[in-house]
Amino acid sequence: MPSQDAFLHPNCFLWQAALCHSLKLLGPATAGQFSNLSSSCGKMHRFSFLSLSLAFITAICQMTSPQYYRPERRGLQNLLPTKATSQQNNATGPPLDPSIPVNSSCTALPFNKKTWQTLNLDKYLQSYPGGEHLTVAQYAATKGAPNFDCGVRSLCHAGQLCNPIPSPDWYILFAVQQWNIQINGMVSAITFAFNFVQATISRLLAAFFPAVDPSVAENFKLDFGVNGAFMMVSNTIILDILALFNSFQLGWNIFFNIINNLSVVGFSGIAGLLPIPKDPEREPFAVWSHLSDSMTVYEQKLIDGFSEFSEKVVQSGINSPNGLAGVLKNGTFMTPFEPIYLPAVEQSLKNVTTALYLVRFLRTMDAFVTIGSEVCHGNGKNGALDGDNVLSYCDPSGTMYNIVRVKKDKEERHFSNAFVIEEQFGFSTQFLTNASISCQQKYGGFEHFPYVNTTVPMDPASDCVINLPVCDCRDAAIRHKVKKHGVVKACREAGLPI
């Protein structure tokens, strides 16, 4: 992020930083096309123009650098003969530009909330003539910035104070610029996090649905069966040949016959009894495709939320509570935006989206939480069920909490390699069950949606990030039905979406 001095005196580094930041925001998926990237030097629409754009930026840098405005370089001074030559030829050339008087309003004030209050910009916005009908772009255009395009995937820049935007409007548009950078920074972080989580969840699917290759067992069965058949045929042929020279009653012929027949029986028996590994209950690729599609929709929903919010702000009247007057109130974005440290943000979002993925993954198997379905008399901790393939927890009071699933309308407690949920991803059964119970108790119903008004939780423990349906078997009516019909039917009749 450029320093405050860079904002006061735009130079080559500022322009390059703005362009590079735009490339990062657009991401690799849209690197081939710039549909909304704009700056004060125009719009660039195709990635193939990048080299030309950089060259153009370099030229602008040379013209906008402070050195360019030295008195001896103004006008056409450098393009005309020197003073001595001019005097010799009695040619004076055009006069130098007169000194430009310093305008106190063009002296930049500190970028902080105090400046916002000193300039009374809240009142300025609220009382701006016709502000209820002016969008951000229209307002900026009236101040000399016709290409001030803000929003998700767009970059708006206020430029330099008084060049051309005058004070105090420049401070307002500078704050809009900082707000826009923050919005796009969050969208970029969300995109990176979701891409990372998709790769992470593939490991979870590989653990829950290990690849099964039955071809080895099938080949063994085939080999044993074929060998048994060939031995039976070979035994018959050999005995027929031996019969031409010997009697079947000879002892070694009988022994040879018995051995061959036993071998045939053995090979054929092994071929018939050798088990073939069962196919996984769910095809991993199908599950992965379903989850990937779901999370793509979820990611887009978040980005759409930011887009709708930003669009509402920039299209509302500037003195509307939903417009600039509300967003920039009290100088919220007057301080230059500090770049988001993406690794830190992505780590938080990664944890949250991993939790969301895990819940969706469990729900594809009709998983749900049961409370008190059994007494804590197991071999696990505090009497919980024991084993690497179960998700069970008992609290100190002796109440058992299980995560189970529906299989053929029956309760199934086993999940293949369930231990990876805690060992690899850090989500204990206690956390998953307690978070789901808290969500259901606080909001009612089942599977409450965690994001409201595009608020992005940074903690997996936030409300309803974990939201498995909960069936409280301690309820007398449910317990009675559990004893009579089983857990699945009792919980279904209690309203669980299983």
Q: Are residues 31 and 58 in the same domain?
A: yes
DSSP, res 67: G
Domain assignment present for 423: yes
Query: What per-residue confidence (pLDDT) applies to 458?
Result: 77
pLDDT for position 174: 94
- With respect to residue 61, please indicate whether it lies within any of the assigned structural domains: yes
**Tokens matching residue 401:** 């909490």
pLDDT number for residue 367 = 95
| Single pTM value for the model | 0.50
**Residues 176 and 234 reside in one and the same domain:** no
Any domain includes 404: yes
Listed in sequence order, the residues at least 6 apart from 231 whose beta carbon sits closer than 8 Å to its beta carbon are 260, 263, 264, 267
Instruction: Find out whether the peptide bond into 168 is cis, omega within 30 degrees of 0.
Output: yes
* Residue 106 is assigned to a structural domain of this protein: no
Question: Do 298 and 377 share a structural domain?
Answer: no
| Domain's final residue, options 321, 355, 389 | 355
Domain count, the chain: 4
Query: Quick one: CA torsion of 425, 429, 431, 437, rounded to 10 degrees?
Result: 140
pLDDT of residue 353: 74
In a shared domain, residues 180 and 291: yes
The residues facing 370 across adjacent strands are: 402, 471
Amino acid at 427: F
404 and 286, same structural domain?
Answer: no
**Listed residue (459, 453, 358) closest to 415, CA to CA:** 358
State whether 485 and 409 are in the same domain. yes
pLDDT at 251: 56
Do 219 and 208 fall within a single domain?
no
Q: Are residues 380 and 448 in the same domain?
A: yes
pLDDT, residue 142, reads 93
End-to-end CA distance of the chain: 50
Using CA atoms, how far apart are residues 71 and 13, in angstroms rounded to an integer? Answer: 24
What 3-state DSSP class applies to 392? strand
pLDDT of res. 393: 94
**Same-domain pairing of 119 and 198:** yes
Same domain, 284 and 153: yes
Rounded Cα distance, 486 and 480, in Å: 9
Query: What pLDDT was estimated at residue 108?
Result: 85
Could you state, in chain order, the average pLDDT of each consecutive group of 10 residues for the chain (498 residues)?
Answer: 36 37 40 35 34 35 35 36 40 44 72 92 92 93 92 90 91 94 85 77 72 56 59 61 57 59 58 55 62 80 89 92 90 80 71 83 90 92 92 94 93 90 92 95 84 70 91 93 92 92
Q: Round to whole Å and give the CA distance between 144 and 125.
A: 18
By residue range, what is the domain housing residue 4?
1-91
Please tell me the distance from the alpha carbon of residue 117 to that of residue 403, in angstroms, as a whole number. 55
Whether 96 is covered by a domain: the verdict is no
Indicate if 179 and 316 belong to the same structural domain: yes
In a domain, 97, yes or no: no
Both tokens of 179, joined, read 């707000």
